[in-house]
Amino acid sequence: MVVTGWTRGSAMTPSEPLKAVYSQWAERFEKLLRMSDYPLAIKMVEQDEDIPTLAKRPLVDFGYHLNTCQCFAISRRDGEMIAQKQEDMWCHEAAIGFGFTGGKPDAFRDGLRFFLNGKTRLRETGNHVKIAKKWANKFPRFEPGKYIAILSAPLMRAGFEPDLVLLYVNPSQLNLILAGVVYNWGDDVTCDMAAHGGCVHYVVPPLLSGEFWVSSPCNGDILSAMKESADLVFSAPLAKVERLLEGMQAISDLGSGFPKKYELKYEGWLPPEYTEVSKIMKMHRALTSR
């Protein structure tokens, strides 16, 4: 992706957060995870009047179309608030996944029929029609026409109420997030590892389910939006963010936060609860001296 004139934060949309707590949450995420970019606020928009006036439109303000992953990248790296409608999009998968008809429901229906027949993935499935159709029909989608646009912005300056918070994190950072989920909910998190349509998987499944979600980036996100190849994407519904942060803070206070203190130690220290289970299972005894 080549975007001229941008450096991180230099073009940040001059908006204030709709609620002061968004800035507080963003600061806590950045501090706990030592993040290199901004936690991202995402909102699905149903009406034109709900698009903030300060939001940039790719086609109008930049003069070209963008992939949704590129919009996300500009928001989380450069601080821009971006509103993307169907006419701003370059990749059809985002339009299909988000149900953006662009005011042309018949044309959208024709395109969706072509998509669901597996035509876009036929070559990549070895020309196996059944396999291509199977993939297409499992692709997550919102109801066509329900939404008209998607908003992205740094959480710290979200001038709207987000539906989701996205965190682009490496496995070590993700571990702290997942431990925070366990701390307050006792649950593991569903993973959605898909090769295609990353931006759709970041947004649609967690909004439809209301649950935390972990997704892998698609090739387009890596190549066209220059996403760090080691990162995964964690999606948090807005209603769960406060408790998630509480759990992450508690785990960090127990000594599992950042910065990490790495040490390779054979038969190293384990929590008392771990050694108790090991004794019950008659697993082992220490072979190295402490």
Q: What is the pLDDT of residue 266?
A: 75
Per-residue model confidence as pLDDT tens for the chain (290 residues): 334 333 334 457 777 788 999 999 999 999 999 998 999 999 999 999 999 999 999 999 999 999 999 999 999 999 999 999 999 999 999 999 999 999 999 999 999 999 999 988 877 777 789 999 999 999 999 999 999 999 999 999 999 999 999 999 999 999 999 999 999 999 999 887 888 999 999 999 999 999 999 999 988 888 888 777 678 999 999 999 999 999 999 999 998 888 877 677 777 778 888 888 888 888 877 767 65
Tokens describing residue 235: 């999606």
45 Cβ contact partners less than 8 Å away, ≥ 6 residues apart: 51, 83, 147, 148, 149, 150, 151
- Which DSSP category does 233 fall into? E
Using alpha carbons, select from 168, 156, 170, 144 the residue that is nearest to residue 221. 168
Contact 169, 217 (CB under 8 A): no
The amino acid present at 211, given as its one-letter code, is E
What pTM value is reported for the model? 0.86
Q: What is the pLDDT of residue 5?
A: 35
Q: What is the pLDDT of residue 95?
A: 96
138 Cβ contact partners less than 8 Å away, ≥ 6 residues apart: none
Tokens describing residue 214: 């972990």
Q: Which neighbouring-strand residues pair with 168?
A: 233
